[in-house]
């Protein structure tokens, strides 16, 4: 475990120097969305069945946390990982020390989770100041968002260790997976509004499960079995992504 | 005399830092290293020489315990890399072919962060970083970001970083490729000092002057195999003549003169603008050629170098 902590210390050293540049995309952007959609557009939306009877901004706020978590996890698992393999090659430097490939991957995954956590807490703090939350249950949405982030991010880790381009693949994943997922997986409105045939597509996304859980911890109304089901799905997705990532990391680093 | 020999065996075994027998590395169908045997002893400066694609770097990565071997036996510091990778890596210094510094950290942070990986305390890495900054002549850039440093500075930092754990064995993969002459000489100077301090060096290079400067003993690799082994002087003695006579001619006229001098030298090599005559006494051959009426535009007698050995062993010999 100590080598894992040392890699985290390494990444933290980088973050301490460079965190300012990350604030815009990880904290300000979701808050802008919450402001524009929740307060702006939300002012024209009458609370009703589609918002679970809640003011729109309140309905949106916990899901926005999860959507941002998935985006931060994606960002942190993509270019920084590709860069560590291809541009500055720091993974090769790290695995030339006593640190093993498995320890490096574990540290990288934990680092992504930590970044999601930091951004999530910052978002919660600011959004709470604007009165976007109804109760402290939303704090439980933070671990939910980390889990949802990792359920997607772990697969991006695996992808990042598989590609060797200058980021074209990531661009396609952002355009054709991440953005549609953000728009159609129940962040801004319930997926019951989608055509029936397309709902299964939302069901397979980690974001939908995260949204459901995040709203449930704040607003209640979810059975224990359903909650366990969502959590298990996200855990399995995370574990699967990490297993593939592990295979890819070994293939890439032990040559 | 009783009791003396008991430890001799283990002491001499301990002195062998790297032992490879029939080492093989395959990437799919491609066999990069095809059965390499080497033994490197403590305190030696050992070189892998060879053209690009000879298998030098693959061999180095297996010794660095970052690339598992496909077949053969390998012991590094007396241990099996497959089973004790982290333990061995903790006692190695590695300078890869391409720098892999943290470009967005400062020079000092690069040293400190890596020192921590080798179990040094925060206090220890601070002291060690200061020492190494001095060694690498980077003290005045200590708190600058790495990114804008020159190639030579980055290379020095990479070498300084590889020393952070005071390694017993330092692996340098093409340490001076791409550097200007000043930077190369400065680096050689640093490496020479390490060698004097008793650090065992393994160097790969395709620069002959580098091999002659640094290596006590070297192997020439070509196509994944070792094609020659020995000290630079022994390799020259074995694979080349003592001297080389270079005769320059106007372009493309050199081969007309080959029949005239062929029997005077041990070997004649034809280059586009000149003939190389390998002989024990270059002046004598020049005198004989002149008596036969040969009038080159210029002539030069020089001692044979590793480059001559290298070209002979790894190709380009046209007349033998």
Going from N- to C-terminal start, the domains of chain B cover: 13-231, 241-303
Q: Do B64 and A95 touch (CB under 8 A)?
A: no
Of B100, B105, B106, the CB nearest to A92: B100
Q: What is the 3-state secondary structure (H, E, C) of chain A?
A: CHHHHHHHHHHHHHHHHHHHHHHHHHHHHHHHHHHHHHHHHHHHCCCCHHHCCCCHHHHHHHHHHHHHHHHHHHHHHCHHHHHHHHCCCHHHHHCCCCCCHHHHHHHHHHHHHHHHHHHHHHHHHHHHHCCCCCCHHHHHHHHHHHHHHHHHHHHHHHHHCCCCCCCHHHHHHHHHHHHHHHHHCCCCCCHHHCCHHHHHHHHHCHHHHHHHHHHHHHHCCCCHHHHHHHHHHHHHHHHHHHHHHHHHHHHHHCC
- Mean pLDDT, residues A31-48 taken together: 94
Of A13, A92, A98, the CB nearest to B86: A98
Q: Given a cut of 60, is residue A198 above it in pLDDT?
A: yes
Q: Do A254 and B100 touch (CB under 8 A)?
A: no
Q: How far apart are CA B67 and CA B88, in angstroms?
A: 13
What is B241-303's CATH number?
3.30.70
Nearest of A42, A31, A4, A9 to residue A188 by alpha carbon? A42
What was the pLDDT predicted at B14?
58
Q: Given a cut of 50, is residue A149 above it in pLDDT?
A: yes
Q: How far apart are CA B44 and CA B198, in angstroms?
A: 8
Nearest chain B Cα to A252, which residue?
B67
What was the pLDDT predicted at B316?
59
What was the pLDDT predicted at A171?
96
Q: How far apart are CA B136 and CA B153, in angstroms?
A: 8
Across the A:B interface, residue pairs with CB atoms under 8 Å apart total 74
Q: Does residue B79 belong to the interface with chain A, where contact is any CB pair within 8 Å?
A: no
Q: What is the mean pLDDT of chain A?
A: 96
What was the pLDDT predicted at B53?
87
pLDDT tens across A225-248, in order?
999 999 999 999 999 999 999 999
For chain B of 320 residues, list the mean pLDDT of each consecutive stretch of 10. 41 78 96 97 95 92 97 97 98 96 97 98 98 95 97 94 97 91 88 92 90 92 94 91 93 86 90 90 94 92 90 61
Q: Does residue B144 belong to the interface with chain A, where contact is any CB pair within 8 Å?
A: no
What was the pLDDT predicted at B13?
52
A-contacting residues in B 99-118 (Cβ below 8 Å): 99-106, 109, 112-114, 116-118
What's the pTM value of the predicted model, to 2 decimals? 0.91
Secondary structure of residue B267 in the 3-state scheme: strand
- Residues from chain B that touch A17, judged by Cβ atoms under 8 A, are 104-106, 109
Q: How far is A185 from chain B (nearest CA, A)?
A: 37
Pick the CATH number of B13-231 from 3.90.1150.10, 3.40.190.10, 3.40.50.300, 3.30.70.870: 3.40.50.300
Q: Do B118 and A97 touch (CB under 8 A)?
A: yes
Of A13, A95, A254, the CB nearest to B68: A254
ipTM above 0.90, yes or no: yes
pLDDT tens across A115-127, in order?
999 999 999 999 9
Q: β-strand B267-271 against B274-279: which pairing, if any?
A: antiparallel
Confidence of residue A132 (pLDDT cuts 50, 70, 90): very high
CA A221 to chain centre: 24
Nearest chain A Cα to B98, which residue?
A89
What was the pLDDT predicted at B9?
39
What was the pLDDT predicted at B320?
32
**Phi and psi angles of residue B36, each rounded to the nearest 5 degrees, phi first:** -105, 130
Q: How far apart are CA B287 and CA A101, in angstroms?
A: 65
Q: Does residue A16 belong to the interface with chain B, where contact is any CB pair within 8 Å?
A: no
pLDDT tens across A204-216, in order?
999 999 999 999 9
Q: Which domain holds residue A45?
A: 2-253
């Amino acid at each position: 475990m100590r080598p894992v902590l040392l890699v985290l210390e390494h990444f933290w050293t980088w973050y301490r120097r460079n965190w300012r540049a990350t604030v815009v995309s990880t904290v300000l952007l979701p808050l802008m969305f919450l402001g524009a959609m929740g307060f702006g557009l939300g002012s024209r939306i009458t609370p009703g069945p589609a918002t679970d009877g809640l003011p729109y901004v309140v309905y949106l706020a916990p899901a926005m946390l999860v959507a941002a978590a998935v985006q931060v996890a994606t960002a942190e698992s993509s270019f920084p990982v590709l860069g560590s393999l291809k541009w500055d090659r720091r993974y090769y430097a790290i695995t030339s020390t006593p640190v093993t490939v498995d320890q490096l991957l574990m540290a990288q995954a934990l680092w992504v989770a930590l970044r999601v956590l930091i951004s999530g807490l910052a978002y919660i703090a600011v959004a709470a100041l604007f009165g976007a939350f109804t109760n402290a249950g939303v704090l439980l949405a933070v671990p939910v968002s980390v889990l949802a982030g990792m359920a997607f991010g772990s697969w991006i880790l695996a992808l990042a260790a598989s590609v060797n381009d200058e980021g074209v693949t990531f661009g396609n994943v952002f355009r054709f997976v991440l953005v549609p997922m953000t728009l159609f997986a129940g962040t801004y409105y319930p997926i019951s509004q989608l055509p029936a045939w397309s709902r299964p597509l939302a069901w397979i996304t980690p974001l939908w499960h995260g949204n459901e859980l995040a709203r449930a911890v704040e607003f209640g109304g979810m059975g224990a079995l359903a909650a366990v089901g969502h959590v298990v799905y996200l855990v399995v997705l995370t574990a699967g992504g990490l297993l593939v990532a592990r295979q890819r990391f070994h293939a890439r680093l032990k040559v | 005399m009783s009791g003396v020999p008991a430890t001799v065996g283990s002491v001499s075994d301990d002195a062998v830092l790297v032992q490879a027998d029939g080492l093989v590395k395959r990437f799919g169908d491609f066999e990069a290293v095809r059965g390499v045997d080497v033994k490197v002893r403590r305190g030696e400066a050992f070189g892998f020489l060879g053209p690009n694609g000879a298998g030098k770097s693959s061999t180095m990565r297996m010794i660095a315990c970052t690339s598992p071997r496909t077949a053969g036996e390998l012991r590094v510091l007396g241990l099996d890399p497959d089973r004790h990778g982290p333990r061995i890596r903790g006692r190695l210094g590695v300078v890869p072919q391409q720098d892999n510094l943290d470009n967005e950290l400062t020079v000092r942070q690069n040293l400190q962060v890596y020192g921590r990986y080798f179990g040094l305390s925060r206090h220890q890495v601070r002291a060690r970083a200061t020492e190494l900054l001095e060694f690498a002549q980077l003290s005045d850039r200590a708190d600058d970001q790495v990114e804008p440093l020159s190639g030579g500075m980055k290379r020095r930092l990479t070498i300084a970083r590889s020393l952070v754990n005071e390694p017993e064995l330092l692996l340098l993969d093409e340490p001076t490729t791409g550097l200007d002459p000043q930077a190369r000489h400065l680096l050689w100077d640093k490496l020479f000092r390490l060698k004097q301090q008793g650090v065992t060096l393994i160097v790969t290079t395709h620069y002959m002057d580098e091999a002659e400067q640094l290596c006590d003993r070297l192997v020439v690799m070509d196509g994944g195999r070792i094609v020659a082994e020995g000290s630079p002087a022994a390799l020259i003695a074995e694979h080349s003549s003592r001297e080389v006579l270079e005769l320059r001619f106007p372009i493309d006229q050199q081969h007309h003169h080959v029949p005239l001098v062929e029997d005077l030298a041990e070997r004649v090599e034809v280059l586009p603008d000149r003939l190389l005559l390998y002989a024990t006494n270059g002046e004598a051959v020049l005198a004989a050629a002149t008596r036969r009426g040969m009038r080159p535009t210029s002539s030069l007698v020089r001692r044979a170098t590793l480059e001559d050995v290298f070209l002979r062993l790894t190709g380009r010999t046209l007349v033998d």
